[in-house]
Structure 1
Amino acid sequence: MAVVIMDGKTRVSWLVAVANTAAPTVAEMAGGVSLETAFTPDGLDIKVTTGRKDTSNLASRRNSERVTRISYAVAGTFYRDDTNDIAWNLLPYGAKGFLVVREGIDRETPWASGQRVRVFPLEAGEPNPVKQTPEERWTFDTEFAVWAGELVNQRAVIA
């Protein structure tokens, strides 16, 4: 099995609307705002956790569990830009949309039918400017809330 180095192989877009999060269309993807160059190199932070519930009983000799709810924690560290400031202007407090992430394909490759993507319906939190220090980049952090958990799709395929 070959190891894939992810440098330059992540594309991220913010879409205002997606009709079907399991199969966003090429047209929907093309209408999104490209964000991969607005993120710092380690700025895209998506954590997925699954709850567990103990299902053992008083007579059990070993623990047993079942999986329960899935939680998503999505955050980003973005560059501020003295000309466009795309992420700062696009993601004010309360902005709702869909973050779509494509991985493993050169970011310059156009969106195409059959590509696998992850789709997250998000609402932006209040942007938090990062503390300024000498020789620091101008950045801000934003945490997102998943506004419709049932619409998250980590195995979507572009239609």
Structure 2
Amino acid sequence: MPDIPGDGKTRVDWVPAITNINAPTLAELNAGIRVSRWITADGIVGFRPETADVPTGNVESTFDTNTNGRRSYSGTMLRFKKQSGSDVVYTTMTPDTAGFITIRKSLPAATAFASTQPLQVYPVICGETAWMDPEPNTVERFEVPVKMTDQPALRAVVA
């Protein structure tokens, strides 16, 4: 099987409502905003789960053993390029706004959603927008921290 180059093949959407995060509908996904077109190249931060260790050894053990504990995310945020005029991300993803971030990979970002496509769905609430420090030779940027409000669906499929 050939490798899949990732450039241009990550789509991130802000979706206001999803009933079943394991099988979002086309109507729900199409009601969202494709925000990936404004995300910086390094702007999808912290969307990697961490699994805690639960020690299973005992006082007689001569080797440390573990099993899986809680899964968590830390430092999740999206980093955006500020847009002139009416900036839809800046005015939509405001503090305390709850919604869903969907991430789809392996297809060109502009490809429309279709039934059976795999994607990840993260139930989140937005934190306070943080402006990045100015630096030479770059555009204005800001970050929106997002907190997981429920366990995400990492193997969701479009209904």
> Structure 1-normalised TM-score?
0.94
Aligned partner of 1:64: which letter? T
Equivalence for 1:57: 58
Name the CA distance, whole Å, in 2 between partners of 1:92 and 1:109: 27
Which of residues 109, 112, 129 in structure 1 aligns to 2:111? 109
Q: What per-residue deviation string (whole Å, max 9, x for no partner) do you get for residues 100-159 of structure 1?
A: 11000111211000000000001111010001122221000121111122xx10000000
Equivalence for 1:24: 24
Q: Which structure 1 residue ranges, 5 or more long, are not aligned?
A: none
Q: Segments of 4+ in structure 1 off by > 4 A?
A: none
Name the CA distance, whole Å, in 2 between partners of 1:48 and 1:75: 13
Equivalence for 2:124: 122
Name the CA distance, whole Å, in 2 between partners of 1:147 and 1:31: 21
Name the CA distance, whole Å, in 2 between partners of 1:53 and 1:158: 34
Find the residue that maps to 1:92 and give its secondary structure. Answer: coil
Aligned partner of 1:155: which letter? R
Aligned partner of 1:140: which letter? F
Q: Which structure 2 residue ranges, 5 or more long, are not aligned?
A: none
Paired residues in the alignment total: 157
Equivalence for 1:78: 80
Once the two structures are TM-superposed, the CA of residue 10 in structure 1 deviates from its matched residue by 0.9
Name the CA distance, whole Å, in 1 between partners of 2:43 and 2:88: 15
CA contact (8 A) 1:38 1:86 kept: no
- State the Cα RMSD in Å: 1.0
Name the CA distance, whole Å, in 1 between partners of 2:42 and 2:17: 26
Name the CA distance, whole Å, in 2 between partners of 1:66 and 1:133: 45
Once the two structures are TM-superposed, the CA of residue 84 in structure 1 deviates from its matched residue by 3.1
Q: What per-residue deviation string (whole Å, max 9, x for no partner) do you get for residues 5-59 of structure 1?
A: 1111011111111010000001111111110111001101212101111110111
Equivalence for 2:68: 67
Once the two structures are TM-superposed, the CA of residue 89 in structure 1 deviates from its matched residue by 1.0
Find the residue that maps to 1:47 and give its secondary structure. Answer: coil
Tell whether 2:41 aligns with 1:41.
Answer: yes
Equivalence for 1:134: 136
> 125-134 or 1-10, which moves further after superposition?
1-10
Aligned partner of 1:90: which letter? T
Q: Percent identity?
A: 29
